[in-house]
Amino acid sequence: MKIKLTAGSVLILLVILQPTLMSWFRIFGVEPDLVLAAVVIIGLSLDLKWVLLFSYAAGLLKDSLGILPLGVNTLVLPLLGFAANRLSRRMVIEADYVIATVVFIAAVSHNLIISLLLVIMGLNISMGMSSRIILIGAIYTTSLFLLFSKLIRLSGIKFRS
């Protein structure tokens, strides 16, 4: 129960910090997506019902505080949390570089899906801007995950083995 309370508290904190503090750390107009990294880590760590609950809540909060149309993150984050959870049941995920690879793939997928949804909604996004967001955003998110991975380990979160 302690890990679920910690995960929920961290998600709420990250959802609040994402639109406020992270905008100061933009590189090439792209900021890291710490909420996405947290959803992936929760997806690798907890049971499916908790993963879906936390990722849905994170998506809903992120949509309500962000600039994207309501429902985009609410749809995408639970899907990525579900995929991370299923992946953790099929393979051993313990090393930080393996988790970082999963975070990178999830970040690329998240940014690609959001770019496609925005194009479908009729927003005109250039290919250069879209690729910059997809690649640099994923690299930036993964880099920050690697920096904070030691803190994640110290907090007591255990990955499935």
CB 89: neighbour CB atoms within 10 A?
10
Which positions ≥6 away from 125 have C-beta within 8 Å?
115, 118, 119
CA distances from 7 to 34, 63, 117, 123 (A): 13, 19, 28, 34
Read off the pTM: 0.83
Task: With CA atoms as reference, report the closest residue to 39 among 97, 73, 91, 80.
Answer: 80
Q: Please write the tens of the pLDDT for every residue from 55-84.
A: 999 999 888 887 777 788 899 999 999 999
pLDDT average, residue stretch 20-29: 78
Class of 2-154 per CATH? mainly alpha
Residue 157 · residue 37 · CB < 8 Å = no
Q: Please write the tens of the pLDDT for every residue from 97-108.
A: 888 899 999 999
pLDDT average, residue stretch 21-41: 84
φ, ψ at 156 (rounded to 5°): 100, 0
